[in-house]
Amino acid sequence: MEPVVGATPKVVKSDQEWREELSPDEYSVLRQAGTERPFTGKYTDTTTVGVYSCRGCGTELFTSDTKFESHCGWPSFYDPADSDAVITREDRSLPGRPRTEVLCATCHGHLGHVFEGEGYDTPTDQRYCINSVALTLRPAEE
């Protein structure tokens, strides 16, 4: 994974430490910018009220209040829980299709991509398309 220009992660671990702490699928997504197959993720259709945190470092990233049904195959959110929770960078890994990659601001783990102008009825007109394997859901206490 390329370093993020102008940003230093607050959580820094060696590649070996990440491999020991994460499952192979988690490592592939969070540390190598992989993508889980659509409609296979644990949180794609979940409606549980709570907070979604980074699987790599535990930083709160999104809340269930901003999760919406996009029918794209991955959990979708229209806004991060905190404006400083995620960072973005240009992703030109697909020829002819530049995208905006979303990373955890704390550990720089790859989360997914953000798209704009797709016509979803959300307050931000954005869709943060996030890999379930990059997240941990902490249900709200009743």
Give residue 97's domain range. 15-139
Contacts of 108 (CB under 8 A, 6+ apart): 1, 3, 4, 7, 9, 87
Is residue 5, in this structure, part of any structural domain at all?
no
d(CA 139, CA 128): 20
State the Cα–Cα distance between residues 74 and 128, nearest whole angstrom. Answer: 9
Q: What's the CATH number where 108 sits?
A: 2.170.150.20
Report the predicted TM-score, pTM, of the whole model to 2 decimal places. 0.91
Residue the block writes with tokens 């400083």: 84
Of 54, 57, 104, 129, the active-site residue reads 129
Is 105 within the bounds of a domain? yes
pLDDT digits (tens, 9 = 90+) for 35-71: 999 999 999 999 999 999 999 999 999 999 999 999 9
β partners of residue 68? 76
Q: How many domains does the chain have?
A: 1
Domain assignment of residue 1, yes or no: no
101-114: pLDDT as tens digits: 999 999 999 999 99
pLDDT for residue 11:
86
SS3 88: strand
Reply yes or no on whether 129 is catalytic. yes
